[in-house]
Each structure stands twice: as C-alpha cells, then as structure tokens.
C-alpha cells in the first residue's frame, strides 16, 4: 500500500500526536512503529495541562478516554523523602497545601496537570490512531532512511522503499533515523538508571497517604519510588557500569533488593529496564525532508516531567506548518521556523530539568550523597581506557562505589543527637524543592520568537517565573484560557474557537475590524471572531486578561500562540497590515482554496 505525503516513524506520544493533529487539519499520514504493542514498562507519568489542551484539539475522544484513567488529585499530591517506605518521613511536600494556589492554577486551563502512567497512556493514543481514518497506522513495521527515501519493513511482508514528501523522526531517544542522517546529539550523560515495574497491593493497603514520589535513602539502596494506578509502582536507582547485576541480571537483582526496600514480600515484578539520563539536544531538528520531534530531537533528565510533554508541543508546533505547506501551498521554508521556535523552549526545559536534578543535592549533601558525585563517577566509568579492564573487575569496582555511597545513609537511622541533627538539616531543605514539582510558568508560559510573530513592536516575550504563570497575550505567548460564548450561545473555552487554518483575530468589535481589513491582505486567511464573554459582569475581566481593552484585538495562529495584538483598536490597522504583508502573506501566495476547505470541513466534523 502506498504511503501518504507524510511518513511518521515512531508512534510514541510525539509521533501519535502529530498524526492526530495532521488529521484535524485534513492531512493524511502514514505512521509506522516497529512494535506490535505498546511498551509495558512505564516511563512518563506527569501529563501536564498544556499537553491535555493539545490532545483535546487533536482528539476529544482521546481526552474522554484519559479522563477516565486520571487519578483523583488528592491521591497524587505527596512528595516524600524517607529512609524506607514505612518509616516516618524525613520531610514532605504536599502539593495541595495551598488551596488558593490550586484554584489559581485551575483558572489557567480547562485541564489540570495529571498523572497517567505511560503504559496506560500509550494504548489510548494507539486506539485514537486506529480510529482516525486519515491515519494509516502500521504496527510491527520497522523503518530506516537513506538519502531521500524511507524503507518500510513490515513483520510479515516484503520491504518497500518510499519517497514521501516529509519523513518525521519520532523514533525516540535512540533515533536510528537521526543517526543515519549523521545528526549528532550534544550534551552530557548524567547517570545510568535501572528500574523495576512491580505490583504490590500490600505496600499501602488502604491507599491513604500513598506518596506519588518517594525519595528513599536506605542503607542498602538509594532511589526513587513512583506510585502508579492499581497498586503498581516503579522503583529506580542509578548504576555505574553495564556489567553490574542491575543491568546484566536485572530480575534477580530486583528480587534480591525489593523486599528490603519496600518491606513487603507480596509483590510481582511486571518488567525491568535500564535507561540513560542525559541532557542532550540534536545538532539540528531538520535535514531537508527529515524533521526530528520528541526524544529524537531532545532528551532531558526525568526531573521535571518535560520529555513527553515537550514532544507533544513539538508536534503541535509542526502540524499546522506541515498542513500549510501541503495544503495551502506555503513555502517549504515555513518548516524552518519549527526549530527556530522550539529549540530555545526545549533548551530551557533541559536547563530546568538539569537544575532540578542537581538541586536535589541540597537535601542529600549533608549525607555526602549527591547527584554531582554520581555524575562524576558516571563520566569516569565511561572513560575509554577503562574498557580494557575485564567486566567482572569493573562490576566489582562499581558495586563497591555504590555500596560506599548508600551505606552513608546509615547515619540517618541513628537515634542520637547527630542523627537528629542530620535529619533536621535535610528536612529544612525540602520546601526549597517545590519548583521541581510545580512549574506552571513553564507549563503554560513557553513562548515563541520567529518571523511569524510580531516581536518588532514589543520585543520577544520574556521568560517568566518557573512556578508561577502570568497569563499574557504578548506576541509569542500561548493565548490565555478563558470562557466565552460561541456563535450558538454555548459557553466554551476560548481555545476551542481558534481556526485550523491561518489566523484568528479575537476582538469585542468584530464588525469594525472586518470592515477595516485592507484589500492587500484579503488572500491571507484571517477569521475575525467575536469575543462574547459569558456574562456582562465578566466582560471587563476577559478583555483585561487578553490585554486588548474594548476596541483592541489579539491574533493567534492555529497552535494558539499569539502573533500580533493591539489595545488601540482599528487605528492600528496599518501596523497589522504591514505585519501580515511581511510575515504571513508570503505563506499564502499560492494558497489552494481546497486546503482551507478540507481542514475546515474536518474541524467541523470533529
Ligand atoms: C523514568 C522516566 C520518567 C519520565 N517521566 C516523564 C514525565 O513524567 N513526563 C514527561 O513528559 N516525560 C517523562 N519522561 C520522558 C518520556 O518518557 C519521553 O520523553 C517520551 O516517551 C518520548 O516520546 P517520543 O514519542 O519522543 O519517543 P518514544 O516514546 O521513545 O517513542 C518512539 C517510538 O518509535 C518506535 N521506533 C523506534 N525506532 C523505530 C524504527 N526505526 N521504525 C519504527 N518504529 C521505531 C518505538 O517502538 C517507539 O514506539 C520520562 C522518562 C523516563 C525514562
């Protein structure tokens, strides 16, 4: 069967989201994944509100499926530091301890950050792909690329060579498409991690006070425990050399360790795995028809939960641009803005995740156990000349180093003045870790700077606080969330009224703006949309939130990022005309009407 103009290699969160969004824009795609089923071993669990907004745009049906598996918020609010899961905590962060703060965060989006294990999430995404008629989803199909063509190798059929217009490398951290294209990954390896996914119904039998995350400092083990739905857990710990038992004979290793760490013997191991914690970015996100998204383009430490979420954002940024090129005749160079816009954003996520990783040292430094020393040891163990030393020797050295580190935690168990002082010093630093777990400023506040956005008038949208999000319509920012009435009088999130093609201009004075539109930009798709707040008492608040006043306008593109705004009404029409002619008219010159019609039709149907 022939492939579509876009072939997406890898149906992880990034590739699946891209395919679903392309379908919303009326673009068919072929998605291949070498796996026949989704992975059992979970990785991501923090699904942020922006991701849910994007998935809502991609597939409301998917959102309904995810809502059904979202745990109640008061079961995923505790972050704990402890010596073992049953001991009194060294300290805790309760994410629900400030109800006002929670209410504020709820006001930023129709969705709230949630915790859904990737092992539950991915089957829902694959089901959405199966249900989407514009997605040709091929499971069990490996892909490799050679200059200009992609070879698809289904499990039970002969390989075929295809030359689609675009190939998307959504093939994950170890992207073979990226490697085949000779695109390097730059950035350090921070640690090697081993993990076990297990079921333990007796660990928190009544479910009360079950922490979402537990940092455990036990004399035999240091690591982190992540609580998943259905009494499932993931326990992770670093290791130094691939010859250590955790990597070589993982099931035995975990069967030996688990009873000591979790204190119960009734458990079943579901799977084990290893992964490399890095902070790395691909040298380029594009090479001709090959575009990199998700982990293929960037990898961060898990501390912050940005990996999957940023892959979904990559797809969101790229989908409407691919649609504009394929359906509306926009020049291929539009796709270059994908990297221009996304690279600084993901670089900031990488920086924050790395900061979070090393900031954990503030808690453990009094113990003499730090991620800094782990990083140094990891780098040392990877030095090339050590590869000449037999694995058995290296494993013994690595085990010895690991034991020396973890045994320092014994001091935490001492019931004397020094033990109490140590525990107190560690507890005092725990509140300072909040930024690691509450990053609303990055969740909603990431903004774009490129020729598609009017930064000439007000300058680029500057990075805000990590934890606090300040809604703004500064060009480049995500349009803030609010509720409005649509044409039929129904109250809906403002984001639902954003058009799939071209620009949407929101204003409280639609007639004036429609009449003022100059003929010179009539070929550029601009939909003037009336801002009708749900009640007269909310009118001022909505216009104030959008920072445009009674007569102004805010203009957004299909991914909901602001490209232009004015508070001064149609007197600013000349500025708007100049911006559109400069930035957007070149994208619409050869626009085929069919592109707009197809996307509009698809949006109406869904
Ligand atoms: C322990 C841990 C915790 C994490 N926690 C979070 C978190 O809380 N929140 C968060 O946002 N992120 C988190 N992450 C990161 C997150 O898991 C990844 O960023 C995310 O899975 C990347 O998605 P992706 O679609 O880019 O790639 P992947 O999920 O790796 O998907 C790639 C797909 O491509 C397929 N594939 C690969 N090569 C080929 C080929 N040649 N042909 C065909 N198919 C191919 C694979 O089978 C796979 O299905 C965590 C990661 C780890 C390890």
Is the pLDDT at 414 greater than 50, yes or no?
yes
Q: Ligand 1 atom 39: the closest Cα is on which residue?
A: 171
Distance 242 CA to ligand 1 centre (A): 21
What is the dihedral sign for C-alpha 97, 494, 489, 596? negative
The answer to whether the beta carbons of residues 552 and 567 sit under 8 Å apart is yes
The answer to whether the beta carbons of residues 294 and 313 sit under 8 Å apart is no
Residue 352: closest CA among 439, 440, 447:
439
Q: Which atom of ligand 1 approaches the CA of 46 most closely?
A: 8
Residue 455 pLDDT level (bands cut at 50, 70, 90) = very high
Distance 11 CA to ligand 1 centre (A): 9
Q: Ligand 1 atom 30: the closest Cα is on which residue?
A: 172
Distance 178 CA to ligand 1 centre (A): 15
219-262 pLDDT, tens digit each:
889 999 999 999 999 999 999 999 999 999 999 999 999 998 99
Is the pLDDT at 602 greater than 80, yes or no?
no
Per-residue 3-state assignment (H helix, E strand, C coil) for 536-604: HHHHHHHHHHCCCCCCCEEEECCCCEEEEEECCHHHHHHHHHHHHHHHHHHHHCCCCHHHHHHHHHHHH
Q: Ligand 1 atom 19: the closest Cα is on which residue?
A: 307
Q: Ligand 1 atom 41: the closest Cα is on which residue?
A: 143
Q: For residues 406 and 354, which has the higher predicted lDDT (pLDDT)?
A: 354
Q: What pLDDT score does 377 carry?
A: 94
Name the residue of 33, 189, 317 whose CB sits within 8 Å of the most ligand 1 atoms, as the mutation to test its pocket: 33
Length of the chain: 606
Which has the minimum average pLDDT: 176-180, 473-477, 539-543, 559-563?
539-543
Which has the minimum average pLDDT: 244-253, 407-416, 477-486?
407-416
Provide the mean pLDDT of the chain.
93
Q: Which atom of ligand 1 approaches the CA of 15 most closely?
A: 25
60-76 pLDDT, tens digit each:
999 999 999 999 999 99
CA distance 31 to 11: 7
CA distance 515 to 508: 14
Name the residue of 302, 309, 315, 318 whose CB sits within 8 Å of the most ligand 1 atoms, as the mutation to test its pocket: 302
Average pLDDT over residues 97-117: 93
- For the chain, percent of residues with pLDDT exceeding 90: 85
Q: For residues 533 and 58, which has the higher predicted lDDT (pLDDT)?
A: 58
CA distance 201 to 220: 23
4-54 pLDDT, tens digit each:
899 999 999 999 999 999 999 999 999 999 999 999 999 999 999 999 999
The Cα-based distances of 448 to 6, 347, 440 in angstroms read 25, 13, 17
The answer to whether the beta carbons of residues 248 and 398 sit under 8 Å apart is no
336-364 pLDDT, tens digit each:
999 999 999 999 999 999 999 999 999 99
Protein residues with CB under 6 Å of any ligand 1 atom: 9-15, 32-35, 43-46, 118, 142-144, 170-173, 176, 275, 294-295, 302, 305-309, 311
102-111 pLDDT, tens digit each:
999 999 999 9
Q: Which atom of ligand 1 approaches the CA of 277 most closely?
A: 53
């Amino acid at each position: 069967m022939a492939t579509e103009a876009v072939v997406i290699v890898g149906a992880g969160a990034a590739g699946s989201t891209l395919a679903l969004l392309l379908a919303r824009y009326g673009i068919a795609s072929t998605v291949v994944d070498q796996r026949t089923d989704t992975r059992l071993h979970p990785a991501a669990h923090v699904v942020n509100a922006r991701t849910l907004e994007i998935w809502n745009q991609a597939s409301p049906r998917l959102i309904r499926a995810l809502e059904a598996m979202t745990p109640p918020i008061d079961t995923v609010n505790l972050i704990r530091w402890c010596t073992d899961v049953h001991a009194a905590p060294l300290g805790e962060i309760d994410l629900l301890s400030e109800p006002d703060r929670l209410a504020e965060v709820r006001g930023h989006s129709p969705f709230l950050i949630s915790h859904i294990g990737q092992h539950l999430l991915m089957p829902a995404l694959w089901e959405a792909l199966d249900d989407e008629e514009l997605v040709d989803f091929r499971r069990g199909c490996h892909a490799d690329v050679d200059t200009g063509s992609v070879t698809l190798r289904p499990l039970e059929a002969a390989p075929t060579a295809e030359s689609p217009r675009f190939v998307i490398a959504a093939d994950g951290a170890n992207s073979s498409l990226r490697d085949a294209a000779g695109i390097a990954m730059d950035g350090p390896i921070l640690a090697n991690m081993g993990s076990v996914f297990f079921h333990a119904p007796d660990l928190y039998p009544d479910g009360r006070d079950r922490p979402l995350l537990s940092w455990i400092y036990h004399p035999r083990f240091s690591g982190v425990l992540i609580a998943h739905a259905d009494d499932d857990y993931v326990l992770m710990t670093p290791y130094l050399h691939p010859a250590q038992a955790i990597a070589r004979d993982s099931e035995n290793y975990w069967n030996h360790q688990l009873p000591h760490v979790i204190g119960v013997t009734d458990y079943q191991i579901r799977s084990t795995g290893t992964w490399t914690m890095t902070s790395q970015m691909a040298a380029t996100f594009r090479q001709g028809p090959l575009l990199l998204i998700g982990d293929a383009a960037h990898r961060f430490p898990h501390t912050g939960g940005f990996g999957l979420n940023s892959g979904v954002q990559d797809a969101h940024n790229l989908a409407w641009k691919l649609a504009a090129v394929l359906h509306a005749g926009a020049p291929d160079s539009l796709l270059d803005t994908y990297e221009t816009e996304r690279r600084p954003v993901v670089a900031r996520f990488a920086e924050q995740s790395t900061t979070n990783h090393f900031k954990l040292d503030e808690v453990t430094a009094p113990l003499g156990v730090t991620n800094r020393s782990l990083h140094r040891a990891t780098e040392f163990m990877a030095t090339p000349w050590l590869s000449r030393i037999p694995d058995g020797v290296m494993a013994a050295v690595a085990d010895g180093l690991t034991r020396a580190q973890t045994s320092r935690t014994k001091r935490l168990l001492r019931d004397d003045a020094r033990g109490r002082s140590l525990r107190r010093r560690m507890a005092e630093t725990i509140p300072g870790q909040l930024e690691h777990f509450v990053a609303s400023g990055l969740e909603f506040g990431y903004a774009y700077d490129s020729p598609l956005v009017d930064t000439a008038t007000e300058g680029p949208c500057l990075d805000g606080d990590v934890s606090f999000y300040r809604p703004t319509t500064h060009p480049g920012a995500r349009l803030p969330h609010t509720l409005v009435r649509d044409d039929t009088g129904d109250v809906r999130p403002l984001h639902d009224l954003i058009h799939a093609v071209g620009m949407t201009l929101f204003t409280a004075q639609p007639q004036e703006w429609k009449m003022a539109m100059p003929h010179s930009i009539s070929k550029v798709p601009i939909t003037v949309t009336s801002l009708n707040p749900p009640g007269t008492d909310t009118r001022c608040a909505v216009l104030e939130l959008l920072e445009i006043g009674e007569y102004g306008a805010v203009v957004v593109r299909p991914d909901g990022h602001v490209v232009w705004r004015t508070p001064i009404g149609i007197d600013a029409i000349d500025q708007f005309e100049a911006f559109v002619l400069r930035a957007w008219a070149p994208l619409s010159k050869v626009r085929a009407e069919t592109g707009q019609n197809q996307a509009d039709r698809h949006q109406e149907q869904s």
